Chains A and B, each alone.
Chain A
Amino acid sequence: MNAPDRYERFVVPEGTKKVSYERDTKIVNAAAFTIEREEHTVGNILRMQLHRDPNVLFAGYKLPHPLQYKIIVRIQTTSQSSPTQAYTQAIDDLDKELDYLKKSFEDEKNREEEKLRRGY
């Protein structure tokens, strides 16, 4: 009925940033990142990665409403780090990890193909 259009799920509206950052005023080294047009897929993996970081004291995400296509990631770190740092670090690590995954997958695939070719 009055649900938003489909494309709203993945098209970031003009004038808004994909990721926005807001520092928490009450707690030190804490911030909330609003990631537009993402949902549990990104939220969960990001949170899990952040949990691996020993400097991260708190990491959680929330989908405020099923029809509001954004997630809010809240991060708090120790004084050795900062939320932004932890956030980028986590994304970098995820990037690397996924790259590695992709690479090893492709390697394996190539090896199999090689095997098949040799077999003929």
Chain B
Amino acid sequence: MESDKPPAKGYRTDQKSTRSSIALKKIVHELHHVPGLVGGIVEKGFSSSGNGNSSTGIPSTIPLPRPTVFPFPVARRRSHGPHWTPLGSAPIEAEEGDMEEDKDETDYDPIASYANPIERKEKKPLDFSKWKEFVSQDGISLPQSNNVAKADAGRKREVKKSIVLNSPSSTSNSVCKPEKDQILSSELMNGSVSKKFMLTTEPKSLASKLESEEADESGVGSASAISSIAAWTDKGSDRGDIEKSEVNCHGSSSFMDDIDAENLSLLKNMSAEEISEAQNEILDKMNPSVIEMLKKRGQSKLRSRKVIGQEESDGRQKVSSIKPVDSGKSARLVDPSGVWTSKIESNNSSWKSWSERVEKVRSLRFSLDGDVLGADSTHNILNGGGSKVRPYNAENVTERDLLRTEGDPAAAGYTINEAVALTRSMIPGQRAIALHLIVSILNKALCNLQQMDNDSHHVRGKNPSDNLVDWQAVWAFALGPEPQMTISLRIALDDNHDSVVLACVKAIQSILCFDINENFFDFSEKFTTSKKNTFTAPVFRSRPDIDGGFLHGGYWKYNTKSSNILPNNDQHNEDDESEGNHTIQDDIFVSEQDVAAGLVRMGILPRICCLLEMDPLAVLEESLLSIVVAIARHSPTCADAIWKCPSLIQTVVKIFTKHVLGEPYPSQIKVVLLLKVLSEANKQICWDFVKCGLFQQVMLNWCKPFSSLERWMESGRENCKLTSALMVQQLRLWKVCIQYGFCITHFTDFFTDLCLWLSPPMFNKLIGNNLLSEFTSITREAYLVLEALAEKLPALHAGEQINNQSIGFSDDTSEAWSWSHVGSMVDMAVSWLQLRDIPYICSLTSDSKKNVNHLEFASISCIIWVISAVLHMLCGVFHKVAPNIHDELDHKITSLPRLSKSVPNVGLNLIKNGFLNFSGSSKLVFEACSTETRSLVNLLCLLRQQGDFDVSLSSSSCLHALVQLALLIDDSVKRARNFNDTQSFSESMSGLHEKILNVGLIKSAHNELEEVLSMFMDVVSSEQQILQSLEMFDRGGPAPGIGFGWGSCGGGFWSLNVLLAQTDARLILSLLHNISVIFEHDQTQIKATESVSYQPDQMLTLQRIDSTLRLSLLAGPGDETILEKTWDYLFQASVMKYLGSFVAQYLCHTKVSSSFDWHYGDDDYYLFSKMLDSHYKERWLIAKRKTISEMNNNKRYKTRHALETIQEIEPHSGFSRDQATNALMVEWAHQRLPLPMHWFLSAICIMGDARRISTCLPTDLDVAKSGLFFLLGLEVSSIYLCSSSAESPISGIPLIWKLHALSMALSQNMDVLMEEKSMDIFKTLQDIYGQHIDEKLQGFTNSLPETKNTVSLEILNFRAIHDSYSTFVEHVAEQFCALSYGDIIYGRQVAVYLHRTVEPTIRLSMWNALSNLGGLELLPPIEMCIANAEGYLEPVEDREDILESYSKSWTSGILTKAALRGSISFTIAAHHLSSCLFNTNTPQKVAFRNKLVKTLLRSHLQKPQEEAMLLSLLRNGLTTSEDPTYKSEAARRLTVLKEACGGNYSLLALLEKLEPLV
């Protein structure tokens, strides 16, 4: 839409008619409102309409097009303008300015009083800080403009001020003409110069014209008119444009220009007489001194502007070139980054570097296929050097890009912000292109992130800035803190052009990482039924606090509160008024935090439903369904939202049934997937599906069987692929239902069809048709379904139905399954155990020399997956045959002889087919086991090491199943032997293989399994770092996206690396279940004697403990049971005993501490294991529950009118984490896993837990003691281990954490030190850590001088633990002074904070706290402190604040006692002070030194009895008085002091007195 206002000719300079003034005013108004109109087009870089032309006398006939950055019809927000300037920006303060009859006030004032102007929020370049703050209330705690009134008031005054602003110049003009005129005209010149950037040639010519018309009164008028016109043209063309900021050099806003323009026009319409009259009037009214002042100011400003002007505009240029288009708002200055980084509290340095990385992306330019364009162009922009926006003229007008308004439009490619702005273009094609560009950028980013993931083994730790493009930052920026992308995408979805909608849907699909997440879930689904999927919503940890001992690893929270995702959910019936309160600002706020949540909030679901109903293109349909799936995976709330979205599910199911009779259709797969995901998310939803027949509808074409494989294969490869994919999804849906206990009865309907896929096929034909993977995926899923069914079997021998259905559902909804079908199932499974009939595997196992061919990986993994599923299924069945391994012994194996036979049958098959290698067993020598063949286990290990992800995962999973199955078989056989007639049983087991079975599979294959264990432990030790980088920041860290994009390095938790590591962890765990944690040899040794000498090569047990610790770090959400098991192994009493004996040996062999009496009995070890086990499980594994008051609130909300009842306090029954019984998906939120690296320190920190201290449990002390013992054990073992393995999980923990834990134990009381044993442990730990500090310091001093500058000396940067660590330090000092009795161990712990490697702020606050409380004298002597003495003294202190506080303590006499007792505090103070006094030579410091000398001497003047202290200060660092250099040095020092006295007589007298003593 154009403003076709005819060019107003009414204001030539000489014309004075009032008509023209009215016309002019009108124009002012028009122009003012033009951008406000929807779609108003104002061309950038050209003066609007013909105003400029008319003034130069060139009539413009064709109004030029004037695009804004806001061309697409979008609802305009009030905040887009008019804009308000803060009061302070008016350059001249005037007392009184209403000399003129200001007609315009009548126009503005009513608006001013009624309008409710919105103070524009100061926009930060990247405001992450918002994410970091916890959203306190419903997320609508949006920053509101609170100075609305102020702006309103300021408005009126501004009008006046600007009049005054103008008037002095004109008055001065008339008063002292020759001089002032120059100033005025040059001022005007200056104005136009500063405007040069954007003005077209016309203003320039005007300016030159102005120069010629010097000293002419009317010329002045015209000049002002011109400049005013220029101002309008700016105004019109660049409302919401970048150049605005450049024009307004002193920060006045567009509004100021308006007023200025009007004033000038008024001025121009007045006659010369009128003007002079008015000027006189002003002069009369004004104080002459004020006028003088104003004149001076004008001159000085002029001068300064001349100097600064150029620089400033350059600076602006630079800044504005990296400003975003900002959806049509006028650009504001980017704050210097320092302002907002200071807000961010934690992880300052890393956070800063991260935000810098993200900020860099702003200027990256992408080509249309998503590649980053050459670094040169971006470099230029950043430097601001050659990237000035040139003013357009006739020559370079072709460079102008109407679509891009920021930075360097002529540059190639688009920045992300430009692309986002382009999605609002008027032309559909451009919108589509922009969206395609976004899609390709996102895909590239994801692709490269995944690449990082794959490469991460090799390049871990590499500096990300080394990469050419920092894709992680690109991803973060795209999703990032500026929410334009989300909003633009949401708007684009409402487009009426199919191509745009399609592109937009693709963009949303990739912004939700659908494909990569789906790939991850597909893998995780292949495992076993017990593995639960996880929700993908971004989360952050709650901040560590003192109550938790500052230990990290708090509960996870969602970035967005669930109530914010669906704001109208609850209050719908409440009051409709509240709906009006939700603005788009809230949407922005939510989508800043979480893209998917923002989309849902902005009503994406109804729109998708609408699109689906319109019978869209197949591609679009599929993508839309993908988005719905991604949203369903987001969080429970989102899944619920989909379920509740009216007619969405019906539409989706309609899509399925539409195609049900024809060929399988890609969308059908997605539909089933969606239903499955929704069912997983909530049991209720699943039940509803089953109830209303959706399940039957979806499984309908399952009943359309292929009579044979041949017919299936004949249907064509494409068709086969689709059917296979569809069937896999259907089977998974069924599996989910079965896991809930629904739809089990359908088994009879489906089983006959299933049989086709269950037995081994004709492999040749399959391979010939290239359909092996399709077939095997169906088989795999079918067996997984059978496994799920097997779990629903009643226990075979229990004689009673297990009634394990959970809450809320009556028994009739869930069905148990009978044993009658199991027989045939098992038979078919056994047929898969004939390895010799299976291709690939057969050839690999038969020849041990044969290498794994890389080409066969895909096929091999397919088959291994099937075998793995088969084994898992057998496990499930056998588990029910022998229900509980540790069951009571009185049940009998009686019924179903066929089944009881099947157990040994499977066992024999395992043996015969060479699953395991029994040759190493010492008891049985089998000639049958030749060395030519290799066992399956061996093969799987090989594949695990050499294969790609798929193969590694499958072999790991298969091994896991195999080990479990072997265990179950052994167990059954053992029991059968026990309860049957032993004689007859062993008779039936006469053959070779039977003998093995009789002995036990595990036992026979013990050697091989141990090999497997050690191999996998090695593997895990290389994997353990994966999860460590997961939590670089709390909120708003790397890519707060969804799923894959969420984590840090290479996708974080959602990477396949993690999945693989967790699978390995599970395997190790099941192996540890079979093979004890403690190596047998060690076990016997422990039993034999208490103190044995361990050889370094017998560290197997230590390695096992070590890897168990690593396993704990790998557990993610939903792995609580696994972790529990791990800890059961780790905290056995025998392990404690082993550690104990190890520590005893260590103490004997090293002189690290006075070896104390180390005697712990079995009871002690038992107590330790019990305490630690229960503590850690309670601390880390209990899920967060709503507090009772919260639950109350909820209830009250629902039943408002019901009487309040007293809520019963729910008993904490054990570890009730089964909140998830309602769903098969696991939430990240409300739990703590994965563990922080230093999790085991929590036992020690429990002593300092202020919250618990009020309910002080007597067990806490025991827990802390056990924790200390355990820590010492681990430390000692890590000392022994560090030579063998690279980095153990213990030594990898930063030293600050360990020292902090020790301090934490003392921070409330010193009960830990009350008992002698724990005191000794404490001391030993301190000694060990002292050694660590010394080693690190040694490493630092040995390092090259050039690296020294980069590496900070602050080895112990305690502030990394928490920002307010100094408060904690003060608390420790307070406790020390209150109740320690000057305990040496306590004192050591306190003194460590004075170590030179501790950062200065902490040191200072510790010193001050001790000084104030009189605790300095209580510290032990320096020799007794942790770490070497040099560490406290060298290098010499150079911070003045610390030295001052030393001298303050010195002069106030606090150190007097410390000097008497020889405490470390005196040593430190004397050393640093004397070094400062006598070794200062830089002139800057001399003044400080002199001050110091005077203070010290003066204090000694008053206290003559403290002469010894002064002498020791003088003599510090000097050895003996016999030393020949002593005399000269002492004399030098005395002269230094004398010089510093500055001739003060009394001080000199003191020194005189001192001289003979030295």
Contact = CB atoms under 8 A, between A and B. Distances in A.
Residue of A57, A61, A65 with most partner-chain B CB within 10 A: A57
B1381 A61 contact: no
A47 interface: yes
Contact of B1381 (A47, A72, A74): A74
B1382 A58 contact: yes
Interface string B1358-1383: 00000000000000000101111110
Contacts of B1413: 60
Given A51-B1414, A58-B1418, A76 B1378 contact: no
Contacts of A24: 1381
Interface string B1403-1430: 0000000000111001000000000000
B1379 A60 contact: yes
Nearest to A76: B1381
A30 interface: yes
Given A51-B1414, A58-B1418, A65-B1254, A27 B1381 contact: yes
Given A47-B1414, A51-B1414, A60 B1254 contact: no
Nearest to B1415: A60
A58 B1378 contact: no
Contacts of B1254: 65
Size category of the binding interface on chain B:
10 to 19
Nearest to B1456: A54
Given A47-B1414, A51-B1414, A62 B1382 contact: no
B1378 A30 contact: no
A74 B1378 contact: yes
Interface in A72-115: 72, 74, 76
Contacts of A47: 1414
A48 B1453 CA distance: 13
A72 B1414 CA distance: 17
A65 B1255 CA distance: 12
A31 to B, nearest CB: 10
A19 B1516 CA distance: 46
A30 to B, nearest CB: 5
A74 B1382 contact: no
Nearest to A24: B1381
Nearest to A50: B1414
A76 B1382 contact: yes
Nearest to A61: B1378
A35 B716 CA distance: 93
B1372 to A, nearest CB: 13
A105 B1314 CA distance: 48
Contacts of B1375: 62
Nearest to B1382: A58
Given A47-B1414, A51-B1414, A62 B1381 contact: no
Contacts of B1382: 57-58, 76
B1347 to A, nearest CB: 45
Contacts of A65: 1254
A51 B1412 CA distance: 12
Interface in A39-76: 47-48, 51, 57-62, 65, 72, 74, 76
Contacts of B1381: 24, 27, 30, 57-58, 74, 76
Residue of B1314, B1375, B1382, B1415 with most partner-chain A CB within 10 A: B1382
Contacts of A30: 1381
A30 B1383 CA distance: 12
Contacts of A57: 1381-1382
A8 B1379 CA distance: 25
Contacts of B1377: 60
A30 B1379 CA distance: 11
Interface string A12-35: 000000000000101100100000
A26 B1418 CA distance: 18
B600 to A, nearest CB: 40
A30 B1418 CA distance: 15
B1379 A74 contact: yes
A59 B1380 CA distance: 9
Contacts of B1379: 60, 62, 72, 74
A34 B659 CA distance: 85
Nearest to B1413: A60
A57 to B, nearest CB: 6
Interface string B71-96: 00000000000000000000000000
A76 B1417 CA distance: 13
Nearest to B1460: A54
Contacts of A76: 1381-1382
Contacts of A72: 1379
A38 to B, nearest CB: 15
B1414 A62 contact: no
Contact of B1380 (A26, A48, A51, A58): A58
Contacts of B1414: 47-48, 51, 59
A59 B1413 CA distance: 10
A26 B1379 CA distance: 14
Contacts of A60: 1377-1380, 1413, 1415
A84 B248 CA distance: 78
B565 to A, nearest CB: 35
Interface in B1311-1342: 1314
Residue of B1314, B1377, B1381, B1414 with most partner-chain A CB within 10 A: B1381
Given A47-B1414, A51-B1414, A62 B1378 contact: yes
B1312 to A, nearest CB: 14
A51 B1458 CA distance: 12
Interface in B201-249: none
Contacts of A48: 1414
A47 B1414 CA distance: 9
Contacts of B1314: 26
B1018 to A, nearest CB: 49
A78 to B, nearest CB: 11
A35 to B, nearest CB: 14
Nearest to B1377: A60
A71 to B, nearest CB: 10
Interface string B1431-1472: 000000000000000000000000000000000000000000
Nearest to A68: B1254
Nearest to B1254: A65
B1137 to A, nearest CB: 29
Contacts of B1418: 58
B1206 to A, nearest CB: 15
A51 B1378 CA distance: 12
A74 B1414 CA distance: 14
6 contacts: A57-B1381, A59-B1414, A60-B1379, A62-B1378, A72-B1379, A74-B1379
Given A57-B1381, A74-B1378, 16 more contacts: A27-B1381, A30-B1381, A47-B1414, A57-B1382, A58-B1382, A58-B1418, A59-B1414, A60-B1377, A60-B1378, A60-B1380, A60-B1413, A60-B1415, A61-B1378, A72-B1379, A74-B1379, A76-B1382
Interface of A: 24, 26-27, 30, 47-48, 51, 57-62, 65, 72, 74, 76
A-B pairs with the 10 shortest C-beta distances?
A62-B1378, A60-B1378, A58-B1382, A60-B1377, A51-B1414, A58-B1381, A76-B1381, A27-B1381, A62-B1379, A30-B1381
